């Protein structure tokens, strides 16, 4: 029989929910921009140099940074919920969520390094 | 000769052992407005007295005959035979432990109901007469107080199937909201604290199965949404 677990101890659901919505809004606003650039390139309105100029611009870098952060936060929250829903054994759940956090952080740092041209 | 209705009914008696199975029955159509519960009663009284199910009021009030009917949760007593595809598959509420045939163990469901403390909580002194409420404030309870705790919603919620040990499920949350919006209740803060963790409320992914399933046409999803907005408003 399923037992009733005590409430409370788990971390705040409100902040998770809040970050999920917030990052969704940022994605909604910013995600169309790279696609717009892509179509401009494919249609021949933008050559390589012009594209690089746009991406190099300080505003682009800031927006790009916001986009990548929102993307990672959103993906992390979403995948975490899926893992929590379907992986019930703590033995698997905690390391899986941890591994996901590490991989995503690594990916984010790498991407940010590219944007800000440390690499 | 009366028109016959074909049913396929879930049978399982753990005490006797054996596998759960579906058993076919044929029942005469007794009258035009015949409900599924009438057919189950006919089986029990005329064909096979061992068929076990819960029912009491026969009017959609007590909430005891929640069943899975052709794959959809509903109350047998208010589900018309007419319009149901035959053979009518009658099963116990999904994801529940079967005690016998169509009777399931409701303990956990009611434990979760108890967890939201479904009674008026106040700190101000008890007035000489009753605690008054304006007609407008009373009207805000419409759509909540009608719930008969039949569990049709909660047992149709995938989130509750996966995480029913921690997620309260739509019925309990509908009631949580009923007390949160009650103008006479003075424990709103505590009630919100109770559901702010990651599982009890926020496991609802707005799949809306609950709303589809409710035989009283209530909307637990909206209630859950209201609690979320209350929590957000409290933070900001
Ligand atoms: S809306 Fe929420 S509570 Fe209702 S069925 Fe979906 S997940 Fe469950
Ligand atoms: S909300 Fe509807 S389906 Fe859910 S327990 Fe109440 S009456 Fe039954
Ligand atoms: S018998 Fe009471 S609700 Fe169906």
CA of B216 to the centre of ligand 2 (A): 7
Number of structural domains (chain B) is 2
Planar angle of CA B87, B89, B90, nearest 5 degrees? 135
Minimum-distance ligand to the CA of B200? 1
My answer on whether B83 and B160 are in the same domain is no
Å from B200 to nearest chain A CA?
A: 7
A14 to chain B: which residues are within 8 Å by CB? 196, 202, 228, 231-232, 235
Q: Are residues B126 and B204 in the same domain?
A: yes
| Strands B21-28 and B66-69, bridge-based pairing | unpaired
Name the pTM for this structure: 0.88
Instruction: Compute the C-alpha angle B212/B72/B29, nearest 5°.
Output: 125
Interface test mutation site (partner B, options A18, A80, A81, A85, max chain B beta carbons within 10 A): A85
B217 and B120, same domain (yes or no): yes
The last residue of a domain, from among B75, B104, B133: B104
Residues B40, B114: one domain?
Answer: no
Q: How far apart are CA A112 and CA A91, in angstroms?
A: 32
* pLDDT for position B86: 94
DSSP letter for B183, please: T
Query: Which pLDDT score, from 0 to 100, does residue B207 have?
Result: 86
Domain match, B135 and B195 both:
yes
Tokens 């029942």 sit at which residue? Answer: B27
Instruction: Give the residue from chain B lying closest to A4, CA to CA.
Output: B165
Q: How far is the C-alpha of B106 from the C-alpha of B54, rounded, in Å?
A: 12
> Using one digit for the tens of pLDDT, what is the confidence trace for B119-143?
999 999 999 999 999 999 999 999 9
Are A80 and A100 a contacting pair, CB within 8 Å? yes
Handedness of CA B52, B58, B64, B69 (dihedral sign): positive
Residue nearest to atom 7 of ligand 1 (CA): B204
Q: Which among A1, A4, A6, A15 is the top mutation candidate for probing chain B, defined by the most B β-carbons within 10 Å of its own β-carbon?
A: A4
Distance from CA of A106 to the nearest CA of B (A): 26
Of B76, B85, B25, nearest to B50 by C-alpha is: B25
Contact A72, A27 (CB under 8 A): no
Same domain, B229 and B117: yes
B136 with B191, same domain? yes
**pLDDT for res B215:** 96
Q: What is the pLDDT of residues B68-115, one digit of tens each?
A: 999 999 999 999 999 999 999 999 999 999 999 999 999 999 999 999
B219: helix, coil or strand? coil
CB burial readout A48-70, b (16+ within 10 A) else e:
eeeeeeeeeeeeeeebbeebbeb
- Asked if B200's CB is within 8 angstroms of A86's CB, the reply is no
Q: What is the pLDDT of residue B235?
A: 84
Find how far residue B147's CA is from the centre of its chain: 8
Establish whether the linkage from the previous residue to B87 is cis, with ω within 30° of 0. yes
Does one domain contain both B98 and B179? no
Q: What is the pLDDT of residues A36-69, one digit of tens each?
A: 999 999 998 888 889 888 988 999 999 999 999 9
Residues of chain B above pLDDT 70, percent = 100
Q: What average pLDDT does range B144-172 have in this prediction?
A: 95
Q: Which of B66, B83, B104 is the last residue of a domain?
A: B104
My answer on whether B77 and B9 are in the same domain is yes
Q: Which of B104, B125, B142 represents a domain boundary (last residue)?
A: B104
Please, what is the average pLDDT of chain B? 95
- CATH number, position B68: 3.10.20.30
Domain hosting residue B93, numbered range: 4-104
The answer for residues whose C-beta is within 8 angstroms of residue B36's C-beta and 6 or more apart is B67, B69, B76, B77, B79, B80, B81, B84, B88, B90
Q: Of the ligands numbered here, which is closest to the C-alpha atom of B173?
A: 1
pLDDT digits (tens, 9 = 90+) for B143-153: 999 999 999 99
Check the CA dihedral B159-B161-B162-B167 and report its sign: positive
Q: B82 and B165: one domain?
A: no
Q: Where are the domains of chain A?
A: 17-117
A110: left (phi over 0), alpha (psi -120 to 50) or beta: alpha
For residue A37, give how far its alpha carbon lies from the nearest alpha carbon of chain B (Å): 34
| Structure tokens that stand for A97 in this block | 């969520």
CA B148 to chain centre: 7
Which atom of ligand 3 lies nearest, measured to the CA of B60? 3
Residue B74 exposed, middle or buried by CB count within 10 Å (0-12, 13-18, 19+): buried
My answer on whether B129 and B153 are in the same domain is yes
For residue B17, name the pLDDT band (cuts at 50, 70, 90). Answer: confident
Give distance in angstroms: CA of B112 to centre of ligand 1: 15
Residues of chain B whose beta carbon is less than 8 angstroms from a beta carbon of chain A are: 97, 105, 107-108, 111-112, 115, 159, 162-166, 194-203, 205, 228, 231-232, 235
Tokens 């319009």 -> residue: B83
ipTM attached to this prediction: 0.73
Q: How far apart are CA B93 and CA B108, in angstroms?
A: 14
CATH of domain A17-117: 1.20.1300.10
pLDDT at A45: 87
pLDDT at position B236 is: 79
- Do B112 and B210 lie in one domain? The reply is yes
Give me the residues of A, 53-112, that contact B with CB < 8 A: 81, 84-86, 88
Give the alpha-carbon dihedral of B223, B226, B227, B231, to 10 degrees: 170
From the CA of B199, how many Å to the nearest CA of chain A?
7
CB-based contacts of B146, cutoff 8 Å, min separation 6: B216, B218
- Contacts across the A-B interface (CB distance below 8 Å): 62
Task: Kindly report the CATH number assigned to the domain that includes residue B175.
Answer: 1.10.1060.10
Q: Which residues of chain A have pLDDT under 50?
A: 1, 7-9
């Amino acid at each position: 029989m399923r037992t009733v677990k005590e409430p409370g101890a788990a971390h705040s659901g409100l902040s998770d929910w809040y970050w999920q919505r917030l990052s969704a809004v940022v994605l909604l606003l910013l995600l169309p921009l790279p696609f717009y650039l892509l179509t401009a390139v494919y249609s021949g309105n933008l050559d390589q140099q012009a594209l690089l100029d746009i991406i190099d611009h300080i505003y682009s870098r800031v927006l790009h940074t916001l986009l990548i952060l929102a993307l990672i936060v959103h993906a992390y929250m979403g995948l975490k919920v899926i893992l929590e829903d379907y992986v019930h054994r703590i033995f698997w759940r905690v390391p899986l969520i941890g591994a996901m956090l590490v991989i995503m952080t690594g990916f984010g740092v790498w991407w940010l390094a590219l944007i800000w041209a440390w690499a | 000769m009366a028109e016959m209705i074909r049913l396929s009914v879930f049978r399982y008696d753990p005490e006797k052992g054996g596998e759960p199975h579906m058993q076919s029955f044929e029942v005469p159509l007794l009258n035009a407005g015949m409900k599924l519960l009438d057919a189950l009663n006919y089986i029990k009284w005329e064909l096979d007295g061992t068929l076990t199910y819960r029912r009491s009021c026969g009017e959609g009030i007590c909430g005891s005959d929640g069943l899975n009917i052709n794959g959809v949760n509903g109350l047998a007593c208010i589900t018309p035979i007419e319009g149901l595809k035959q053979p009518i598959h009658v099963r116990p509420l999904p994801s529940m432990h079967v005690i016998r045939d169509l009777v399931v163990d409701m303990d956990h469901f009611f434990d979760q109901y108890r967890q939201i403390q479904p009674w008026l909580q106040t700190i101000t002194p008890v007035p000489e007469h009753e605690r008054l409420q304006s007609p407008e404030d009373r009207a805000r309870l419409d759509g909540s107080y009608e719930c008969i705790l039949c569990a049709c919603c909660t047992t149709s919620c995938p989130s509750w199937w996966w995480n029913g040990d921690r997620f309260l499920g739509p019925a309990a949350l509908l009631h949580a909201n009923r007390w949160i919006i009650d103008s006479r209740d003075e424990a709103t803060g505590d009630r919100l604290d109770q559901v702010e963790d990651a599982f009890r409320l926020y496991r609802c992914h707005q799949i809306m199965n609950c709303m589809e399933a409710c035989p009283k046409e209530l909307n637990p999803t909206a209630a859950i949404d209201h609690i979320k907005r209350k929590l957000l408003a409290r933070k900001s």
